[in-house]
Structure 1
Amino acid sequence: MKYDIIGDIHGCFDELLSLIDKLGYIMQNNIPVHPDGRSLAFVGDAMDRGPNSVETLSLLFRMQDAGSLHYSPGNHCNKFYRFAKGNHVEQIHGLETTVAELDALPVEKRLDFLKRYRHFYEALPLYQLLDNEKLVIAHAGIRESMIGSPESKKIRVFVTYGDVTGERHPDGRPVRRDWAKTYKGAPFIVYGHTPVRQARFLNNTVNIDTGCVFGGALTAIRYPEMEIVETPSLQPYMPDRFTTFN
């Protein structure tokens, strides 16, 4: 199977449609289908911050219903799930934009959407293990020793939030270690979560979160070809939101 793996979307629905088109997919019954049998996959965080989280998630719902979805949930996915369950969740760091979209819907549609999202999230694996375990798609990355291990809180936190130190940046974001620097595993790992200016290949891993919602680009990697395909962002450029690694 060949995959086209897309980075963090964050509600950038127009850019997503543009990238899907550039990758050669056509819409059949409102589902993207590739004439050569390729499959789309996602590193997570489809919602929050950007202008159109509801339409982005609705497309993913349809793909899930059709059995064609490969999606690895991220920290924003988890936070929105807790909100959808009725938990008290602080509406900051982008959640407020998704909630504003929902509040604009009729009450019944809003309730139906939150119910559908709960089902969506609960059906997702923690990460994707594909191509006979040669390909791993994990939102924030994963250590080799964690791949295939029984699910634990430690693995859930790492895959969803990254290799966090417990410290925080002044804006409240957690400080994360550069786990890819020491990765020596055989499986090729595709991840996102930390915005970089261009796809970052390192030690049999690639970060494809190129900060679309911050004015960068929406990026996909074609597997197994290892070809990068991207579409420019339509959002304002925010250079301070991109990470530079040593």
Structure 2
Amino acid sequence: MTQTNTDGDELARCDRRSDSGPFDIIGDVHGCAGELEALLARLGYHVRWTGTPSAAEVTVVPPRGRRAVFVGDLVDRGPRVPDTLRIVMSMVEAGTAYAVPGNHDVKFQRWLDGKDVKPSHGLDRTIAQFEPEPKAFRIAVRKFLKDLPIYVWLDGGGLAVAHAGIKEDMLGRISGEIRRFCLYGETSGETDKFGLPIRYHWAVEYRGHTSVVYGHTPVPDADWVNNTLCIDTGCCFGGKLTALRWPEREIVSVPAADIYTMPVRPFGHPPPRPGVTA
């Protein structure tokens, strides 16, 4: 298949192997801006707000030499989605952070595009929180989400960040299949007893040299599995917001201030594919 110019542009945004960090990779925020502010402070970032609530602006000053990387799912479920986006957008624009989209972000972008999407799984809360926001901010958010690279490959090829993960042979390429994997992981096409997609624990089979950090499927604690790490620790569900300091491999977390949304199913890694033992 011939690669389009759009794919080539996105691949250039994905392939950042020349950027060596150090990095602070932050798990699924889901609108929990208060916990994000607390986590950034623990990591040594200084967050400063100015202006009025209807015209708020934020500046985030990182520790010298460090940059943040957000694994996506910035929106839905939590109480302060617009502020979460303001923080992340400000950091990306200033060159002090990278961000990749999550499946919730892509769905919200489709809503901003005027598409007919079902306001479920927290999207209804995001839409309600955006009702008082000015049109200019909506336009800026739409462009920001649309321009995000589907993954970032960093640190000389030693680190990759994608929302639901990525396999090593996908790195350095762009395709519809790769985009789907980065957003949703490996799924069976069926739903479980909770009505949610059945996901497989792709990391059980991972044998790559590139360390992969991802989110998407909430787990009680961030633990390494075959050189991969899931750092979605369910902040919006009353868990915690977690970051990985790279290359130190230090895990830093702050507890959720509240249970903003009740989880539909218990936390934990999905099962491996049939025929694969963990």
- Do Structure 1 and Structure 2 share a fold, with TM-score over 0.5? yes
Q: Are residues 1:44 and 2:81 paired? A: no
Q: Are residues 1:90 and 2:118 paired? A: yes
Deviation at 1:238, TM superposition (A): 4.5
TM-score (norm 1): 0.93
Equivalent of residue 6 in structure 1, options 18, 23, 26: 26
Q: Is the 8 A contact 1:42 1:71 kept in 2?
A: yes
- Correspondences of 1:92-241 after superposition (within 5 Å): 92-103=120-131, 105=132, 109=134, 111-149=135-173, 151-236=174-259, 238=262, 240-241=265-266
Deviation at 1:28, TM superposition (A): 6.0
Partner amino acid, structure 2, of 1:9:
V
Partner amino acid, structure 2, of 1:7:
G
% identical equivalent positions: 45
Aligned residue in 1 for 2:92? 64
Aligned residue in 1 for 2:268? 243
Q: What RMSD over aligned residues (CA atoms) do the two structures have, in Å?
A: 1.6
Aligned residue in 1 for 2:12? none
Aligned residue in 2 for 1:23? 43
TM-score (norm 2): 0.83
Equivalent of residue 80 in structure 1, options 77, 99, 108: 108
- The size of the alignment, in residue pairs, is 241
Q: Is the 8 A contact 2:37 2:47 kept in 1?
A: no
Deviation at 1:27, TM superposition (A): 3.0
Deviations 1:162-218 (A, max 9, x none): 101101123332111100000000110000000000002100010000000001100
Distance (Å, rounded) in 1 between the aligned partners of 2:91 and 2:244:
19
Deviation at 1:34, TM superposition (A): 2.5
Distance (Å, rounded) in 2 between the aligned partners of 1:199 and 1:69:
21
Distance (Å, rounded) in 2 between the aligned partners of 1:31 and 1:40:
14
Distance (Å, rounded) in 2 between the aligned partners of 1:61 and 1:197:
28
Distance (Å, rounded) in 1 between the aligned partners of 2:101 and 2:252:
22
Unaligned runs of 5+ in 2: 1-20, 50-57, 272-278
Partner amino acid, structure 1, of 2:146:
E
Deviation at 1:62, TM superposition (A): 1.5
Which structure has the greater CA radius of gyration? 2
Deviations 1:100-158 (A, max 9, x none): 1012x05xx0x222211121012211101111111100000011111112x11111110
Q: Is the 8 A contact 1:64 1:120 kept in 2?
A: no
Q: Is the 8 A contact 1:43 1:191 kept in 2?
A: yes
Q: Is the 8 A contact 1:10 1:50 kept in 2?
A: yes
SS of the equivalent of 2:115 reads coil
Distance (Å, rounded) in 1 between the aligned partners of 2:105 and 2:26:
15
Partner amino acid, structure 2, of 1:179:
W
Distance (Å, rounded) in 1 between the aligned partners of 2:199 and 2:163:
14
SS of the equivalent of 2:156 reads coil
SS of the equivalent of 1:225 reads coil
Q: Is the 8 A contact 1:214 1:241 kept in 2?
A: no
Deviation at 1:69, TM superposition (A): 2.6
